[in-house]
Amino acid sequence: MGACVEPTHFATSLDLGSPQPLLATDVDAAMAYPPLAPGHVLRPAGGSPVRLVSSPHKAAGGDDEHPDRHELSGSRYYLRHLRAVEEPPARDPRDEGTADAWVERSPSLLRLTGRHPFNAEPPLPLLTRHGFVTPAPLHYVRNHGAVPRADWTTWTVEVTGLVRRPARLAMADLAGGFRALELPVTLACSSGRRKEQNMARKTLGFNWGPGAVSTSVWRGAPLRDVLRRCGGVEHGARYVCFEGADDLPGGGGGGCTYGTSIALKRDMDPTMDVMLAYMQNGGPLLPDHGFPVRLIVPGCTAGRMVKWLRRIVVTTTESDNYYHYRDNRFLPSHVDVKLADAEGWWYKPEYVINELNVNSVITTPGHGDILPINAATTQSAYAVRGFAYSGAGKKVTRVEVTLNGGETWLLCALDHPEKPTKFGKYWCWCFWSVDVEVADLLASREIAVRAWDQSLNTQPENLTWNLMARSNTPMAARGRPLFLYCDALSDSDHNHPRFGRE
């Protein structure tokens, strides 16, 4: 547990200048949350006040299990990130008249499902610009319903089922009473890149682009420690079920929360870093990301990471929640809705998505990027760039780009800003780049990328259509940049450009 999160890692990729001292005005302006004096009252964006009863930074009990854990300096990232976001989160007229009217959101996020509920991804150039840690207001959002209004001081998480001493934990207990884990984790929705599937044949889901991926530094109490504090689990326990505070239709009239389950084995495994997170990038969670507390399950699809966490139930069987079965399933291509319902495909355990599969995205060239072509640029190189990630803590070990439909592959340089955890896990995305000759780009029809992970898993050449359009990770293709032909470098030539794709 406890990946090293050294501030320098972020500083280099974010390049936001030197950290600012924490001033009282900063705190008010940014609504920052720990580290501040106990008793200080804070007001997170759109939420209720947060009162720190004790410093959550000091772990209860020895931390000798985690000698290599590095402390992040609390709200520093939060403040820096808020400053870094071009358009800070604010109430949005587009949410007027919905149950989310009070939620402050970045206007830069691309809304994918009309007015409500809120499902949005950051534009790729913005996501890329911020590098390794995504500012929380730009983190993609997947909400099945309205954001529950939460109050830090009255919120509780109930722990029940097959635990010896069922308990109800207040936020002060979670944040102050447990050893804290703090580490960067990339969240990815398994619906990412679904648009490509819908273009092939309509699926049940709405169009996600490639931006349903973001990284935050999450801080929380290890679930394992919480269960141990409840006296440990009883004989026969095999799953831990999680329930949010959402009020959802659940396929019918309503009264359903968002819920799912994780195998107890993963929850109790110290190498897996499963935590109840109450801080994101040094501040409170934003309402859209689960304020005041959510589950973080590194290496798994983000659909397992229940937000606005209310209840934890240790059981002998998987969650029976509607969303556990109807969401995050990768069904075989021949299965349509009728067949899935008639033959119970939703309940077949083989098709559940837990760990993420390897994936990569091209960020440069971006859509509509223009490359001037002239005597000088045809002699020079053009950097194709992007990000890649895998699941289960596996390192991305290779990324390759082809300009000729897979006949030959160019090996990319990799940048892993994250240090592996002390158990060797990689929970985050990495960045890749490769210089291609502009002449080769001119001769190509398409740029495509594939990543490999340490188990030598790679991305398939073609997409596998599936009803929910899940886990869509074929090699990612992208058109070339728009070429702007300029015969010479003079200004007058620039005034008479010729665009072309061929």
Ligand X SMILES: Nc1nc2c(c(=O)[nH]1)N[C@H]1C(S)=C(S)[C@@H](COP(=O)(O)O)O[C@H]1N2
- Interface with ligand X by CB under 6 A: which residues? 139-144, 187, 189, 244, 246, 258, 288-289, 302-303, 305-308
* Residue 375: exposure state from Cβ atoms within 10 A (0-12, 13-18, ≥19): exposed
At a CB cut-off of 8 Å and minimum separation 6, what does 502 contact? none
Per the structure block, which two tokens stand in for 52?
């720190």
CB distance 298 to 47 below 8 Å:
no
Q: How far is the CB of 189 from Mo ion (least distance, A)?
A: 3
Q: How far is the CB of 290 from ligand X (least distance, A)?
A: 6
Indicate the residue among 141 and 486 with the shorter CB distance to ligand X. Answer: 141
Torsion of CA 373, 374, 375, 379, to 10 degrees: -20
Question: How far is the first Cα of the chain from the last one, in angstroms, to the nearest whole number?
Answer: 51
Rounded (10°) angle between helices 76-84 and 7-14: 10
Q: How far is the CB of 191 from ligand X (least distance, A)?
A: 7
Residue with smallest beta-carbon separation from ligand X: 244
308 touches, from Mo ion, ligand X, none (C-beta below 5 to 8 Å by class) = ligand X
Indicate the residue among 280 and 363 with the shorter CB distance to ligand X. Answer: 280
CB distance 203 to 221 below 8 Å:
no
Indicate the residue among 188 and 486 with the shorter CB distance to ligand X. Answer: 188
Q: How far is the CB of 289 from ligand X (least distance, A)?
A: 4
140 touches, from ligand X, Mo ion, none (C-beta below 5 to 8 Å by class) = ligand X
187 touches, from Mo ion, ligand X, none (C-beta below 5 to 8 Å by class) = ligand X
CB distance 239 to 266 below 8 Å:
no
Q: How far is the CB of 308 from ligand X (least distance, A)?
A: 5
CA–CA distance, 452 with 357 (Å, rounded to integer): 10
Beta-strand runs (E) in 4-103: 41-42, 50-51
305 touches, from ligand X, Mo ion, none (C-beta below 5 to 8 Å by class) = ligand X
Find how far residue 340's CA is from the centre of its chain: 29
Indicate the residue among 140 and 452 with the shorter CB distance to ligand X. Answer: 140
Contact set with Mo ion (CB under 5 A) = 142, 189, 303
141 touches, from Mo ion, ligand X, none (C-beta below 5 to 8 Å by class) = ligand X
**41: which DSSP letter?**
E
Indicate the residue among 76 and 304 with the shorter CB distance to Mo ion. Answer: 304
CB distance 197 to 466 below 8 Å:
yes
The helix or strand, by DSSP H or E, that contains position 93, with its residue range, turns out to be: none
Q: What positions carry a catalytic annotation?
A: 189, 327-328
